[in-house]
Structure 1
């Protein structure tokens, strides 16, 4: 088994490390780094670790590392030939960082076998439900400052905005606006690029940043109760992200309209 601490991997990972040694090396380093950063050991599933490995290898591929490119191709081949115990979560975790055909590094997608390529195509042919797509359009029209967040969450062949991650980012931004960024918890060991990206996406130069918060909340209040899919999106991606009383930004709760507040209250009555 790979020596990664609490995570030892499945029998399939034991085989994978022999077949693609660089994947094992990366897995060891990524798991140890995650545990050192405080990640719960229970998260270290095969799929989670595969996503970490795929992400790091693709960083190296883009930097021109031929060994990483060979490892990514070998991983694709192993997933194609793997026995049924290789779950769809592992395949999806590998594919999430593989460029689409036509993108830089897209030749990795071109050499995938039919099983893995079918999974790639199914995943990236993603379309939002029409009511959700229309809701996102209305939100971006009402609050244009959110467009950079939406662009970060575009994905797939149709360049769709991933609705749940995007609205979760919106919640994080609005809370950050009310706390002057204190809720962002920027780590001291972040690079300058990481810091500048977070500042650009989650803060504002508007003299009245609370005006954006009110605009977002007003639109969500008006939308809640109009469509089941939109309701689910608002409830799970935005309302669930709102801070508890002892967390920074709790003043946003006092700005909620009646519908949003009722949804929050209903969620908080549920046992955690």
Structure 2
């Protein structure tokens, strides 16, 4: 394979790029770009590189590139033919960016063989637990400003909100509201488009942004103890994202109710 630096890929990857040369060309460019941007070479596993390749090829498909479309279909065929216990991380990484049937580029999903299509269906047929779905609905009704975040985290055949990523996003937004956006750690090399998108999702023009923070915390406090799945979601996705006493945004800790404070104390008893 063409030199990419410290990453050369496994024998399985070598087979894939011989069968689908465009995938190899894209991999070379993506790995080089990642390393030049300072990514740890240890991250360059076959699965990670496949996700980069799949994302880039799908960008080209959406732009009308027929060679990229053919490469995505060919990659699916090669993964279907591969040993069932080899490269499942690569299969999952490939499927992350495959459109669902009926979406633009959905013919790629329609061309999948039965094994890889079953993996796609299992992943996309996502349903939240009923109590979690009801909790998310109540939170969005109580704090409508969170709806754009929920839209970003909708996924799968049923357009469900991915509960843990969404609630982690909520925690990040509330901290940003308290810190005037300082907690977002926006990199200097972000594009204006990326910066604008993040600020739109995680900041607010409300003259009293802390009012939203109080509203979110009030809902979460009231929900604690209602259901084990909801409690676990709040503890893992929200409380784990909260700062410690010596970190930016720590003022949110003084706004917590009894239940949330207990969850924070339980978190803080764990080794940092």
Indicate how the Cα distance of structure 1 residues 105 and 259 shifts in structure 2: closer, same or farther if over 3 A, else same.
same
Task: Give how far 1:89 is off.
Answer: 2.6
Q: Residues 73 and 147 (structure 1 numbering): CA distance in 2 closer, same or farther, change over 3 Å?
A: same
Aligned to 2:146: 146
Structure 1 portions without partners, runs of 5+? none
Pairwise CA distance, 1:3 = 3.2
**Pairs within 5 Å for 1:247-262:** 247-262=247-262
2:23–2:71 CA contact under 8 A, matched in 1: yes
Of 143-152 and 52-61, the range deviating more from structure 2: 52-61
Cα RMSD for the two superposed structures: 1.7
Bigger drift between 171-180 and 6-15 goes to 6-15
Alignment partner of 1:92 is 2:123: no
Unaligned runs of at least 5 residues, structure 2? none
Secondary structure, counterpart of 1:173 in structure 2: helix
2:7 aligns to what?
7
Could you list the per-position Cα deviations for residues 100-119 of structure 1 after superposition, in whole angstroms to 9, with x for gaps in the alignment? 11111111111111111111
1:213 matched residue in structure 2: 213
Deviates more, 1:150-159 or 1:180-189: 180-189
Partner of residue 62, structure 2: 62
Deviates more, 1:219-228 or 1:39-48: 39-48
Are the counterparts in 1 of residues 179 and 249 from structure 2 also a CA contact under 8 Å?
yes
Q: How many residues align?
A: 272
**TM-score, normalization: structure 2?**
0.93
Deviates more, 1:218-227 or 1:106-115: 218-227
Corresponding position of 2:18: 18
Distance 2:79 2:121 in 1: 15
How far 1:2 sits from its partner (Å)? 5.8
Q: 1:2·1:9 contact (CA, 8 Å) conserved in 2?
A: no
How far apart, CA to CA, are the structure 1 residues paired with 2:174 and 2:54? Answer: 32
Q: How far does residue 26 in structure 1 lie from its aligned partner after superposition?
A: 2.0
Aligned-partner SS, 2:98 = coil
Say if 2:131 and 2:229, in contact at 8 Å, map to a contact too: yes
Deviates more, 1:223-232 or 1:110-119: 223-232
CA distance in structure 1 between the partners assigned to 2:256 and 2:40 by the alignment: 33
